[in-house]
Structure 1
Amino acid sequence: MRFSHTIYLFTGIILSSLFSSCQNKEVESTETEIPSKPNIVLIFADDMGYGDLGVYGATQWETPNLDKMASDGVRFTQFYVPHAVCSASRAALLTGTYANRLEIFGALDHSAKHGLNPEETTIAEMLKANGYATGIVGKWHLGHQAPFLPTEQGFDSYYGLPYSNDMWPHHPEVKGYYPPLPLYENTAVIDTLDDQSMLTTNYTEKALEFIENSKDKPFFLYLAHSMTHVPLYVSDKFKGKSEHGLYGDVMMEVDWSVGQVRNKLDELGLAENTIVIFTSDNGPWLSYGGHAGLTGGLKEGKGTSWDGGIREPGIFVWPDHFPAGKVETQAAMTIDILPTLAEITGSKLPELPIDGRSILPMLEGKEMDPKPYFAYYNRNELQAVIFGNWKMVLPHSYRSIPEGTEMRNDGIPVKYHMLNLEKAELFDLSVDPNETKDLSASNPEIVAKLSQFADEARADMGDALTDSEGTGLRKHGRLEE
C-alpha cells in the first residue's frame, strides 16, 4: 500500500483577524538562559456529561479529585467541543482546527482506510519540536492504520485502544461486525480485550509510569480515558462504591485516576510547574439510560449540537499562574487549547492555519473579545453558531429520545427518533442554558450578526445543509491500495 499526502491549503475568511494575532512564535532562548517550560497533562474523558462532576452539580456520586482541581484552578461554565462525536472531537482538540476542515467526520472504526493526515500538526508534534517528551495513554481514534497511529503524529509512546471500546464483538446492537478489540503499545497489538474492568486502572498506571520516566525534562501527557463510554467497566476497588449504579462507580474511578496523576506530580515535586487540563469529547450517550451520564439539565446529548451534546466540563490548573477557584463564564472551545499551550510554552504554531485562539488571558482572569464558534455534525453540517452568551441553532435534523420512553439500565440502548428544526432559533445562554426560549424575533440584529458568521463559515469550510462547497478544506490521510 502507498500513502497519499495530498493537502489542500486554504484562504481564511472568518479567521483572518485571528491569524494576524496568533502568528507562529519561535522559541526564544540563549546559551545562558533557557525559558522554563511547564509540563502539560491533558486528561480527556469520553462521553462525560456537563453535570457529571460534583462541582458541576452531580450529587449521585462523589468526584473529590476533580472538584479539588476546580478549587485549585479555573473552571469554565461555557466550554465547548465543536463536534459531539468521538473522532471529530479528538481531531479538533489535537490540531486546534475544526475536524470538518480536515475531512475527519464521525467515529472511525476498524474498517477505516483513512485517518488524521500526518501533514497536520498535533499538540504533541508542536511540543516535541520544542524539546518535550510526549506520550499518549488511552483512546486514540484518529486512524488505526500504521501511518496514522500516535507514534506517527508526534507521540513518543502510545498505550491504549485505537478506537472506541464498544467497537468489539460484544456490541449490543451490531453482531458479527467488529473484530476483537486490540490493545496497542506503540505500534504493536499486545493483547485483545474481552474484559475491560482494569482498563482505567491500567491507563492510570501507564500514565504514572510516563510521568516518572519523563520527570527530568518537560513532558506532555495526553491521558484519553475510554470511560465513561459504553460498555461501562470498573475495577473491583470501585464496584458498588457510588451506591448509584455502574455509571457512578465508573465516574468515581475516573476521578480516582485524576487524583493519582496529581498525587504523582506532587510526589515528584512537579505540580508547581505542571499545567493539568480536564475535559471530555462530547456529552452523554442518553439512549443508554442508566449507563449514560448527566447533562446538568442541558438540552439533548451526544450526537447533537444542542448544549447537552457539546458543552463540557473544562478545568485548567497551573499553580501561581491561573487563579485558584476562578469560575470563568466566557465561552471557549477545545480548539483553543493548542494555541494557548503554544503561547505558554513559546512553541511554534502549525504551518497550516488553525481555527482556535489562545485563551491565556481568560485563564489569567482577564476579559477577551468574544469570537464566533461553530458546531458541526454528520458530514460537515453546520448546525449552530455560538458568540459569547448567544447561540443560534440552525435548521437541521437531530436525534432525540421520544417522550415517555422507558429507559434501560443494562447497557442496551433505547431507540432515538429524528426531529426537524424548521427555522433558526436564538438563545441567550446566560439566562437560558437549557435552550428553551427562542429569542430570534425580538433580537433581529443578533440573528443578522450570527447569520453573517454562519455565511462566512460556509464559504470557508462548506456546509452540507446548504450545499456550500467551502474554499478552505484540507484532506484527511488515506491509504491507497
Structure 2
Amino acid sequence: MTISYSNLLFPLLIALAAFASFQNKPDEKVTIESPTKPNIILIFADDMGYGDLGVYGATEWKTPNLDQLAADGVRFTQFYVPHAVCSASRAALLTGTYANRLEIFGALDHTAKHGLNPTETTIAEMLKGNGYATGMVGKWHLGHLAPFLPTEQGFDSYYGLPYSNDMWPHHPEAKDYYPPLPLYRNTAVIDTLDDQSMLTTNYTEEAIKFIEKSKEEPFFLYLAHSMPHVPLFVSDKFKGKSEQGLYGDVMMEIDWSVGQVRKKLEELGLAENTIIIFTSDNGPWLSYGGHAGLTAGLREGKGTSWEGGIREPGIFVWPNHFPAGKVENQAAMTIDILPTLAEITGAKLPELLIDGSSILPILEGKEMEPRPYFAYYNRNELQAVIYGKWKLVFPHSYRSIPEGTVMPNDGIPVKYHMLNLEKAELFDLAADPAESTDVSKSNPEILAKLNQFANEARVDLGDALTESEGTGMRKAGRVE
C-alpha cells in the first residue's frame, strides 16, 4: 500500500516509525516507503574468511563496526560465492551470472587480453539507467585493458587497482614476473605502488568523497577492498592493534573503513535511505598461515568449492525495511544481489540471461522456496551443487595443506598438495557444516534431486569434469 504523508504529519510519522523499529522483534519488518530511491553501497572484501568478523566468530581482533552493521540488518549464515577465486567471483557479483557462462575464469593478470564483455550488464549499468550516480573504489580485476575498465562498464568514476595487490614485482613466488602495480583514476594510471600501507585508508577517503559528491541524487558505490588479500599492509593507526598480528590489524582497518562510511552517511542524513551490503569474494588463502583469515571450522579455503572456499559473511542493511538483528539461515548467493537491487529500485533487468534471483522476500523476513546454487572452479568444473541445507560435491581434485605442516606468519606461503575426491558425497550442512560425513546412502531422494539439478546445469553451462558442452555460454570481451 502506498502512503502519502502531509507536510504536517511527516515528522510525527517518521518518529513513530523509528520507535516502532526499535521495538520490533528481529524477525519482523517495518515498511516505510522511501521518499526517494535508496542509495546503495556494496562493500566487497578480498580473501576474507567466514570467521573473520566478531559476529561470525573472530576473537583475536575486534570488528565493532561490522558487528553493529550485522545488528542493524540481516546476517546470513549460509551466503555463497559461486567461484572461490578473484575475477570469476567478481564477474558473478556484478552481473548476477555465473562467470563460466561469461567465459571468465580464474584471476586475470597483466597479460590478459580479455575481460568482462561490454555487452554484459553490470549492477552499475543497470542502476545508471535508472537515474543513479555510480562510482567504484578499489580492486576491479575484470580486465585491465581500456575496453574493460570500470568506466566502460557503467561506473561514472573509478579509483583503484586493476587486479590483485600481489600482482607486483615483490610477489614472493613470482619475482620480476609482474610490472609495477598501477593505481588508476578513471582510465589513467596516476601512480605505481611500492608501498600499500595507505591503500585501505585511501580507498575509504575516496569512497567518502564520492558519497559527498553524490548526496543530492541516488547513488551506487562499489567499494572493493584489496585486502585482506596478501600482501598485507596496514596504516600506522592500526599497526599492532590486534592480538593476532598483521592480519588482525588489517581486518580492524577494514572494519574502521566501514565505520567511516556509515559515519558520513549519518552526517549527511542519508543513513535511513541507504542500503549497505557487505561480503567477500572467496574464503581465506590458507597457505599463507598467519597472513590468512579464519574459516570458523569450515572445510578448506580459497581455491576450493568446499564451504571454507565459497561460504562468506553476508550482511544486508536497510533501516526500516530489512529487519534489524535477523540471523538468516536460508541460502543465498552473490548472483542474487543484482536482481534483488533491480526489484527494490524498479530498474530494468539485463536483456541477456542472468542466473540470480531476487531474495527480497528473504530480506524482508519471509521464507522462500530453496533453489539450487552451483559452485564452479578451474576452467568450468562443476564441483558442487547446494540446495537449502544440502550439498552434493562431485569427484574432483582440490588443493589442501598437508597434515602436520608448520604454518608461516611471514607472508611466504607453504606448498599445497592435491587431493582427489573419488566419489560424489552428500552433506547435511545444517548438522555438518564442516562437511565431514557423507549422508548420501541415507538420503537417496535428495541425492537424486541434486544430481538432476546438476545434469540440467551441465546442459546449459557445460562441465569439464564430465566433458559436457553447454549451450548457454557467452564470450568474454577480447582485444587482439
Query: Using the alignment, how far apart are the partners of 1:437 and 1:198 within structure 2?
Result: 45
Query: Using the alignment, how far apart are the partners of 2:340 and 2:176 within structure 1?
Result: 44
AA of the residue aligned to 2:205: E
After TM superposition, list the pairs within 5 Å mapping 1:418-457 onto structure 2: 418-457=418-457
SS in structure 2 of the partner of residue 426 of structure 1: strand
SS in structure 1 of the partner of residue 479 of structure 2: strand
Tell me if the contact between 2:286 and 2:302 (Cα under 8 Å) persists in the aligned partners: yes
Name the residue aligned to 2:112: 112
1:35-66 CA distances to partner (integer Å, 9 max, x unpaired)? Answer: 72100000000000000000001111100000
Query: Using the alignment, how far apart are the partners of 2:357 and 2:343 within structure 1?
Result: 10
1:287-328 CA distances to partner (integer Å, 9 max, x unpaired)? Answer: 000000000100000000000000000000000000000000
Q: Is 1:79 equivalent to 2:79 in the alignment?
A: yes
Query: Using the alignment, how far apart are the partners of 1:34 and 1:191 within structure 2?
Result: 41
SS in structure 2 of the partner of residue 242 of structure 1: coil
Stretches of 4+ aligned residues off by more than 6 angstroms: none
Query: Using the alignment, how far apart are the partners of 2:296 and 2:446 within structure 1?
Result: 27
1:341-360 CA distances to partner (integer Å, 9 max, x unpaired)? Answer: 00000000000010000000
Name the residue aligned to 1:467: 467
Query: Using the alignment, how far apart are the partners of 1:221 and 1:46 within structure 2?
Result: 17
AA of the residue aligned to 1:354: I
Q: Sequence identity, in percent?
A: 86
SS in structure 1 of the partner of residue 459 of structure 2: helix
After TM superposition, list the pairs within 5 Å mapping 1:42-61 onto structure 2: 42-61=42-61
Tell me if the contact between 2:77 and 2:327 (Cα under 8 Å) persists in the aligned partners: yes
Tell me if the contact between 2:34 and 2:273 (Cα under 8 Å) persists in the aligned partners: no
Query: Using the alignment, how far apart are the partners of 2:47 and 2:149 within structure 1?
Result: 22
Query: Using the alignment, how far apart are the partners of 1:44 and 1:161 within structure 2?
Result: 14
Name the residue aligned to 1:348: 348
SS in structure 2 of the partner of residue 205 of structure 1: helix
SS in structure 2 of the partner of residue 349 of structure 1: coil
Query: Using the alignment, how far apart are the partners of 1:335 and 1:125 within structure 2?
Result: 16
Name the residue aligned to 1:362: 362
Q: Which has the higher contact order (CA 8 A, sep 6+)?
A: 1
Q: Is 1:143 equivalent to 2:132 in the alignment?
A: no
Shift of 1:109: 0.2
Query: Using the alignment, how far apart are the partners of 1:292 and 1:253 within structure 2?
Result: 15
Q: Is 1:201 equivalent to 2:201 in the alignment?
A: yes
AA of the residue aligned to 1:248: G
Gaps of 5+ in 2: 1-32
Name the residue aligned to 1:318: 318
Query: Using the alignment, how far apart are the partners of 2:118 and 2:265 within structure 1?
Result: 31
AA of the residue aligned to 2:450: L
Measured at CA, do residues 395 and 323 of structure 1 come closer, stay the same or move farther in structure 2, by a change above 3 Å? same
Name the residue aligned to 1:170: 170
Q: Normalised by the size of structure 1, how large is the TM-score?
A: 0.93
Query: Using the alignment, how far apart are the partners of 1:162 and 1:245 within structure 2?
Result: 28
Shift of 1:447: 0.6
Query: Using the alignment, how far apart are the partners of 2:397 and 2:465 within structure 1?
Result: 10
After TM superposition, list the pairs within 5 Å mapping 1:236-251 onto structure 2: 236-251=236-251
Name the residue aligned to 1:291: 291
SS in structure 2 of the partner of residue 470 of structure 1: coil
After TM superposition, list the pairs within 5 Å mapping 1:298-313 onto structure 2: 298-313=298-313
AA of the residue aligned to 1:386: I
Name the residue aligned to 2:153: 153
Name the residue aligned to 2:282: 282
Tell me if the contact between 2:128 and 2:134 (Cα under 8 Å) persists in the aligned partners: yes
Name the residue aligned to 1:385: 385
1:63-118 CA distances to partner (integer Å, 9 max, x unpaired)? Answer: 00000000000000000000000000000000000000000000000000000000
Shift of 1:158: 0.2
1:348-377 CA distances to partner (integer Å, 9 max, x unpaired)? Answer: 000001000000000000000000000000
Tell me if the contact between 2:183 and 2:189 (Cα under 8 Å) persists in the aligned partners: yes
Shift of 1:34: 11
Gaps of 5+ in 1: 1-32
Query: Using the alignment, how far apart are the partners of 1:146 and 1:137 within structure 2?
Result: 17
Name the residue aligned to 2:255: 255
Tell me if the contact between 2:392 and 2:426 (Cα under 8 Å) persists in the aligned partners: yes
Query: Using the alignment, how far apart are the partners of 1:344 and 1:253 within structure 2?
Result: 31
1:410-442 CA distances to partner (integer Å, 9 max, x unpaired)? Answer: 000000000000100000001100000100111
Query: Using the alignment, how far apart are the partners of 1:283 and 1:465 within structure 2?
Result: 23
Name the residue aligned to 1:223: 223
Query: Using the alignment, how far apart are the partners of 1:395 and 1:440 within structure 2?
Result: 14
Name the residue aligned to 2:335: 335
Shift of 1:263: 0.5
AA of the residue aligned to 2:233: Y
Query: Using the alignment, how far apart are the partners of 1:36 and 1:207 within structure 2?
Result: 21
SS in structure 2 of the partner of residue 207 of structure 1: helix
Shift of 1:243: 2.5
Tell me if the contact between 2:143 and 2:162 (Cα under 8 Å) persists in the aligned partners: yes
Tell me if the contact between 2:290 and 2:410 (Cα under 8 Å) persists in the aligned partners: yes
Tell me if the contact between 2:115 and 2:143 (Cα under 8 Å) persists in the aligned partners: yes
AA of the residue aligned to 1:212: E
SS in structure 1 of the partner of residue 118 of structure 2: coil
Query: Using the alignment, how far apart are the partners of 1:203 and 1:470 within structure 2?
Result: 39
Measured at CA, do residues 234 and 370 of structure 1 come closer, stay the same or move farther in structure 2, by a change above 3 Å? same
Query: Using the alignment, how far apart are the partners of 2:175 and 2:181 within structure 1?
Result: 14
Name the residue aligned to 1:476: 476
AA of the residue aligned to 1:465: L
SS in structure 2 of the partner of residue 373 of structure 1: strand
Q: CA RMSD in A?
A: 0.9
Query: Using the alignment, how far apart are the partners of 1:100 and 1:273 within structure 2?
Result: 35
Name the residue aligned to 2:28: none
AA of the residue aligned to 1:262: R
AA of the residue aligned to 1:148: F
SS in structure 2 of the partner of residue 313 of structure 1: strand
Query: Using the alignment, how far apart are the partners of 2:34 and 2:473 within structure 1?
Result: 38
Name the residue aligned to 1:68: 68
AA of the residue aligned to 1:97: T
Shift of 1:176: 1.6
Name the residue aligned to 1:212: 212
Query: Using the alignment, how far apart are the partners of 1:298 and 1:97 within structure 2?
Result: 25
SS in structure 2 of the partner of residue 79 of structure 1: strand
SS in structure 2 of the partner of residue 453 of structure 1: helix
Query: Using the alignment, how far apart are the partners of 1:175 and 1:72 within structure 2?
Result: 44
